[in-house]
Every structure is written in C-alpha cells, then in structure tokens.
Structure 1
Amino acid sequence: MTPSPAPAARLPGLAACLALGVAAVLTAAAVRPWAPALSPLLLAILAGLAWQNLAPVPERLGPGVAFAAKPVLRAGIVLLGLQLLLSDVLALGPGVIALVVGVVGITFAATLAVGRALRLPWDLTALVASGFSICGAAAVAAADSVVRARREMAATAIGLVVLFGTLMIPLMPLLTGALGLGERAAGLWIGAATHEVAQVVAAGGLVGGTALSVAVTVKLARVVMLAPVVTALAWRQRRRDAAGAGPGVEAGADGAPGARPPLVPWFVVGFLLAVLVRAAGWLPEPALDVAAAVQQLLLATAMTALGLGVRLRSIAAVGPRPLVLGAAGTAVAVAVGGAGAALLA
C-alpha cells in the first residue's frame, strides 16, 4: 500500500483548493441579490475544472487536492447536520414526512433503474440518484465518498443537478400557478421536488413567503434522508466490492486498492450526531452561524478539489445519456412530489 503523504506535502494543494473555495463563496454572496440560485459549490467545481482543462496543474498539489476531496469533504457533510432543526422537520406532520420519504425513495430507485436501462456506469448512476433525490451537490459528494466514483462522474452528476435544478426555478412556480395551488401546497411541491436548497429558495420565493418557508422546511427534511441513503449505498458498494464488479473497485478514490467502505461511514454517524446536537440546543446561535460558514467553506474547498480531477474529454466520452437520466430523475421527483402535495393540500 502506498504510504500516506506527509502533512506538509498536503499544504500547497490544500491551500490552493481553499483559496478557490473562498473565492467561490465570496462571489456567490456578492451576486446573490441577482442570482439567488447560484451555489458556491457550483462556482468552486467550475473553478477547479477550468484550471485543470485550461492550464497546467503542478504535480506537487496532488496530495493536498486528494486530502481536500475526501477528509475535508466529509467534515463538511458532518457540519451540514447542524443546519437541520429536527423539531421543524417533525412539525411537518406524518403526512409530509411520508411524502418526503416517498419522494426520496421512489426518485432514488427510479433513477437507478433508468441508469441501468441506459447502460450508464454504476458510479455515475448512483451519484445522480443521490443528488436528485436528496439535496443536490452535497448529496453527490456524500455518495461519492462511499461509491468511490471517478471524479469526472462526480462532476457530471453535479452538472446535471445544476442544469435541471435551475430549469425548475421558473418551472415550479409556473406549474403551481397554472394548477391554482395555494402557497402551502406550492411550497410542499417545490420543497419535495427541487434538487438544491438554493434552487428551492429561489423557486419558493417567486411564489410567496409562506411557500418559501414551507418549501425550505420540506427540503431540509429531505436532507435528513442523506444518512439512510448513504448507508444503503455503502452496503451496496460492499457487495459490489465482494463481487469485484464495476468502476471504483479496483482502486478506490482514497487510494486504497480494494478497500471496502464501512457499512455505516463515520461521517454519516457524525452527521446524525450533529443533528442531535442541534436538536438538543447545546450550541448558541452565534456558534451555529460560524458552523454554517465553515461548512460552506469546507464543501466549496472539496468541490474545487473534485473539479481539479476532471478532464472534459472524459465527461464528453459518456455521451448524451446522462441528460436522459437527469430528465427522468427530475420528472419522477416532480410527479411524486406533485401527487403528494395535492393529497396533503
């Protein structure tokens, strides 16, 4: 097994990813009044991708980039748990919670089935299913940690989340308006079907204040589903490893050939503990605000690292089938979310 690089060897690459991550966060904040759906995670991965494909990336950055793409990413997922207020999720009631579980479960399973029918790689299909059913880029990144996908597959999945989620910003308000739905029903549908939190905010805000509040709460309930879905993926990956099947088995993204992911990844346990800490009220609001800023910065740093591992030729080689997969996943989420919102309105 290749020895781990010394901590000092990671500093140049980690510093580069951090610098681009900071720039992405600041840029997204500066343009938020005009482009509320523009995610710093998207800007970060685009920055890394542009560098990789337009200019040479020094080889000495490699150890730090690899560190940012894994441990830094997982720390960001753990802190994401502090952004979830469990009491707000439970206050939605059993009907809405059932809707959330149904949307996530059905969208995830249907996307996997479509990807299999399209003969797309397992790693890409698993990442798209996770991102479209749960919470966009953050879910793609979390799934990537257990599926050990190739970096170009992670970039493709995030690109699909951005593309179809952005299309839903004008589409969802138009659909809810055309059907004459009230703000609560509209918020339920938007929160249940739209991919990214930022996209939910943008679409819900176009409908009204009540719709926005309901949509964001429903979306955060979907984020809670990150833990069981990633655990299920880890179990599935262990089975694939045992069978010696598929990409990512011969050499995991952590650099450990044949390494099997734990049945319950440590960062999933950390995520759940963070949710419980927030629910217990042990942290004051200023600490939660700091944690939110750190979490966003960690994920932006990790997304920069993912972008630095992507070569556009590899994405182009996959062809147009991922677009069909993204359209199918979006259609399922919209259909299931709309049916549930109509029943609960």
Structure 2
Amino acid sequence: MSGLIEFTQKNGQGFLVSAVIAAAAQFLSEHYGAPAMLMALLLGIAFHFLAEEGVCKPGIEFTARTVLRFGVALLGARISVELMVGLGPKLIAVVVIGVIVTILFGLLGARVLGRGWRFGLLTGGSVAICGASAAMAISAVLPKNEHSERNLIFTVLSVTVLSTLAMILYPILTEFFAFNDEVSGVFLGGTIHDVAQVVGAGFSVSNETGEVATLVKLIRVAMLAPVVLVISIMVRRHADDTAQGGVRPPILPMFVIGFLIFATLNSMGLIPAVVVDWMSSLSRWALLISIAAVGMKTSLKRILDVGGQAIGLIVAETVFIAVFVLIGVAIFGHH
C-alpha cells in the first residue's frame, strides 16, 4: 500500500496535468471539429515548461511512456479476424502490401535524404499503419538518441495534419473516380492515417462506405503488432551498435503481447461488444493523455529544427500509399 501511495505522489501530478490537457483537447474537438490528437499535442507543447523541472516532471515521463503502451495494447480489442475475411483476399492483400511497401519506401526515402533509419521507420510506419498511435508504438521500441522525442512529435504533428487534409480531399477523389461504396471504403480506409479521420471521411460518403473504411483501417491497425515485432527483432540484433547500457530490449514488448491477446480474444468472440466499446474508448483516452504528455516533453524550437526534407519525406509517403491503394482498388475493386 505504501508503494502505491509513493507511486501516486511521484507520478500523480504529471498524470493529472496530462489528463486535464487531454480533456481540454477533447472539448475543442467536439465543439470545433479539430482533431483531438492534434489539439492534445499543441496544448501539451504550450505547457512544455512543466516537463523541464518540478513536481510534474516524473508523472509526465510516466504518462508519455507507460500510459501510451497501455493505450496501444487496448487497441487490440478492436481487431477481429471474422470481420476481415468478409472483404475478400485480393483487397486485403492490397491493404497489407500497401503497409509493407510504404514502410520500405520510408526507409529508402530517409536514406536518400540522408536521414537516419529510425526516422524512416517512424514516419513510414505511422503513415502506413495508423498515424499517431503507430508512431508512438514504433517509437517505444526504437533505440533512443538525442532526436527521438523531436522526431516523434514531428511525426505525430505531420500525420495528424495530413490525415485531416485527406479526410476532406479523399472523399472528393472517390466521387471523381465514380467508385462504388465498397471500393470507396477500401480506398479511404487504406490511405488515411488516423482512425478518427477514416471514420469521418467514410461516413461522409455513405454508411456502407463508413463501415468498410473502418474495417479496412482496422486491418492496417492489425499490422501494428507484426511490424513492431520485426522492428524489435532488428533492434535486438543491432543492440551492440546502438548500445543502451548493455541491456538488450525484449524481443516482444509487453504492450504488443497485450495487443495480440486482446485481438485473439475478440476474434474468438470472448469479449462482449459492450466491453470492446469500453476498451476502445479507454484506449483512445490513454493515447490522448499520453500524447499530451509527449507534447509537454517537447519544445517547439526543437520541432522546427527537423527541416524541410523531413516534411517532404512524410508527404511523399502519404502520396505513395494513396497512389498504391488507388491502383490496387482500380484493378481488384468490384465496380
């Protein structure tokens, strides 16, 4: 009991500040239509001084690291194999291959631009899988350097802005190409970064498009666990090159194990629908609170140091996955 009290005294204030910022971001999102993740990030950056020193610092560190992993693990409850089978193997293949080639494109682009492989994986993975959530999950298993937090914030900021633009522009594209509801859903779900924006774009076209888009998006979210696993194995293999005090990172982080367990239980129908909804909501709040904490840990000046090349890379990755999925649905879509 004394350990719990000590833990609360150490981390409670930083967590509470993060939670208050997340609640303010959610309020702004509901009343003004701004993406909640983006609002949490920007409000967090405004309170950067709290993370520099003082009573809130340990709690902000804890929230940015541990609460984030908890939120990613709970995301697994949204995955179900049964839902995915209904789409058909060809369209699922387009989505899965789209994720893989976008990550490879990110790595190649980073190399061409002289950026580190970490940056290529982080941006490529966030664009390919599920925006801010993927960026935070991938960042959690990458070896840290002096640019890690700056790059994470830049990536979250960029994918959220690009995702919002896509939410507005991509439904117009589906109309231009005269896609039916199912093909529109595959395109929107296969290309827009964040889950919330996929839902917004899909249901703005039609109910069926919204449902298909959300399902396709969840297939991309399901790719998070294997991608993080592969990155973990790569990092372990190169642990000697990126010395981290002699400690080799775990081959499969606990939050990825949690993600896989929840996905398996949901696929087997062992989690009631009401519990899935509750876990999804809790996951969203955990990620929102943790991104507020990540924001507080970052100074705006350091983000601006990233440079134009980085912006060019993440825009190129976004265009790449859009073109790839567009070609895929044009070939395999049911007109």
TM-score by length of 2: 0.91
> 1:199-210 residue pairs with structure 2 within 5 A?
199-210=197-208
Cα distance change on mapping 1:163 and 1:39 into 2, 3 Å: closer
Task: Give the Cα separation in 2 of the matches to 1:75 and 1:169.
Answer: 27
SS of residue paired to 1:242: coil
Task: Give the Cα separation in 1 of the matches to 2:284 and 2:201.
Answer: 21
Task: Give the Cα separation in 2 of the matches to 1:259 and 1:309.
Answer: 24
Task: Give the Cα separation in 2 of the matches to 1:57 and 1:331.
Answer: 37
State which of 185, 193, 196 in structure 1 corresponds to 2:183. Answer: 185
Task: Give the Cα separation in 1 of the matches to 2:128 and 2:190.
Answer: 9
State which of 293, 312, 321 in structure 1 corresponds to 2:309. Answer: 321
SS of residue paired to 1:243: coil
Task: Give the Cα separation in 2 of the matches to 1:259 and 1:50.
Answer: 35
> 1:80-91 residue pairs with structure 2 within 5 A?
80-91=75-86
After superposition, give the CA deviation of every residue in 1:34-81 in whole Å (9 maximum; x if it has no partner). Answer: 62xx4322222222111116x785422121111111111111111111
Matched, 1:165 2:166: no
Residue 21 (structure 2) aligns with = 20
Residue 51 (structure 1) aligns with = 47
Residue 142 (structure 1) aligns with = 137
Contact 1:112 1:125 in 2 (8 A): yes
Task: Give the Cα separation in 2 of the matches to 1:306 and 1:94.
Answer: 38
> 1:121-140 residue pairs with structure 2 within 5 A?
121-140=116-135
After superposition, give the CA deviation of every residue in 1:215-244 in whole Å (9 maximum; x if it has no partner). Answer: 111111110000111111112222333223
Report % sequence identity. 30
Matched, 1:280 2:268: yes
Displacement of 1:275 in angstroms is 0.6
Cα distance change on mapping 1:231 and 1:151 into 2, 3 Å: same
Task: Give the Cα separation in 1 of the matches to 2:124 and 2:87.
Answer: 25
After superposition, give the CA deviation of every residue in 1:296-327 in whole Å (9 maximum; x if it has no partner). Answer: 11111111111011111211112111111111
Displacement of 1:289 in angstroms is 2.5
After superposition, give the CA deviation of every residue in 1:3-39 in whole Å (9 maximum; x if it has no partner). Answer: xxx51311221221122223323442x23xx62xx43
Cα distance change on mapping 1:340 and 1:122 into 2, 3 Å: same
Task: Give the Cα separation in 1 of the matches to 2:68 and 2:188.
Answer: 27
Task: Give the Cα separation in 2 of the matches to 1:148 and 1:51.
Answer: 26
Displacement of 1:258 in angstroms is 4.9
Task: Give the Cα separation in 2 of the matches to 1:317 and 1:146.
Answer: 23
Displacement of 1:91 in angstroms is 1.7
> What is the CA RMSD across the aligned residues, in angstroms?
2.0
SS of residue paired to 2:55: helix
Cα distance change on mapping 1:86 and 1:133 into 2, 3 Å: same
Task: Give the Cα separation in 2 of the matches to 1:259 and 1:43.
Answer: 36
Residue 241 (structure 2) aligns with = 243
SS of residue paired to 2:270: coil
Displacement of 1:145 in angstroms is 0.6
TM-score by length of 1: 0.88
After superposition, give the CA deviation of every residue in 1:101-121 in whole Å (9 maximum; x if it has no partner). Answer: 111001111011101111123
State which of 34, 39, 55 in structure 1 corresponds to 2:35. Answer: 39
Contact 1:51 1:57 in 2 (8 A): no
> 1:185-334 residue pairs with structure 2 within 5 A?
185-244=183-242, 257-334=245-322
Displacement of 1:276 in angstroms is 1.2
Runs of 4+ more than 4 Å apart: 55-58
* Alignment gaps of 5+ in structure 2: 1-5
SS of residue paired to 2:56: helix
Task: Give the Cα separation in 1 of the matches to 2:168 and 2:61.
Answer: 37
My pick for the range that moved more, 285-294 or 272-281, is 285-294
Cα distance change on mapping 1:285 and 1:179 into 2, 3 Å: closer
Residue 253 (structure 1) aligns with = none
After superposition, give the CA deviation of every residue in 1:251-310 in whole Å (9 maximum; x if it has no partner). Answer: xxxxxx453321211111110100111122223233222222211111111111110111
Q: What residue identity is the alignment partner of 1:125? A: G
Task: Give the Cα separation in 1 of the matches to 2:170 and 2:16.
Answer: 40
Contact 1:131 1:137 in 2 (8 A): yes
Displacement of 1:132 in angstroms is 0.1
* Alignment gaps of 5+ in structure 1: 1-5, 251-256
State which of 111, 120, 140 in structure 1 corresponds to 2:115. Answer: 120
